Amino acid sequence: MSTFALGTIIALILGSAAVALCLRRLIRSVLLFVISWAGIAAFYLWAGAEFLAFAQVLVYIGAVSMVTLFAVLLTRRHDQPDLVIEPPARSRAAAGVTIGACVAAVLIPAILATEFPAASATAPTFSVRQLGLDLMEQHGVVLLVVGLILTVALLGAVVLAASKEDAS
């Protein structure tokens, strides 16, 4: 049952990601990306990290997808297909896929050849309370730095994306 669920999740994530990167209609590929992010949240849930699963849904499906869709709509040329496949683009695509396949050809045998120490029999328990204590005590400084980075990044994004009044 559990393995079957994992198989479904993996197929969903890989399939939607692969199809999303091949589609020509941008909105659809973004929505397929959303499916694959949801699949990743399901994987976290499956692995027992439920807090992370909900954080993934909140951040990726709630926020990143919205920002992406807004960006797609703001950079859309009027009803023109977003991609015209030209010969240079085609060779570029072929090169990209080749490089991806090469990396896969290195990674997969490497993973298969590695012996890992035996897994723990039971899932590690990690309650939300424990997570909060760890975040606040052990990783308090990191939490502050991450908050700072987020604030600065979002301010920077607003400044970058804000349109000037005099631009036509």
Residues 89-148, interacting with other proteins (CB under 8 A):
89, 92-97, 99-101, 103-104, 107-108, 111-112, 116-120, 123-131, 134-135, 139, 142, 146
Half-sphere exposure of 98 (CA within 13 A, CB side): 6
**Residues between 46 and 65 with contacts to other proteins, criterion CB under 8 A:** 46-52, 54-65
d(CA 13, CA 40): 7
CB count in 10 Å sphere of residue 9: 19
Distances (CA, A) of 59 to 31, 41, 65, 135, 160: 15, 11, 9, 18, 21
**C-beta of residue 146 within 8 angstroms of C-beta of residue 154:** no
Min CB(59)–other proteins separation in Å: 5
Give alpha helix (H) positions in 23-134: 26-47, 50-56, 65-74, 87-113, 128-133
Sign of CA pseudo-dihedral 93, 98, 99, 100 = positive
Give yes or no for residue 87 binding other proteins (CB under 8 A): no
If binding means CB under 8 A, how many residues of this protein chain bind other proteins? 103
**Residues between 147 and 166 with contacts to other proteins, criterion CB under 8 A:** 149-150, 153-154, 156-158, 160-161, 163
Q: Pick the closer one to other proteins by CB: 112 or 165.
A: 112
Min CB(165)–other proteins separation in Å: 13
Among residues 5, 136, 140, 144, the one that binds other proteins under rule CB under 8 A: 5
Among residues 10, 136, 140, 144, the one that binds other proteins under rule CB under 8 A: 10
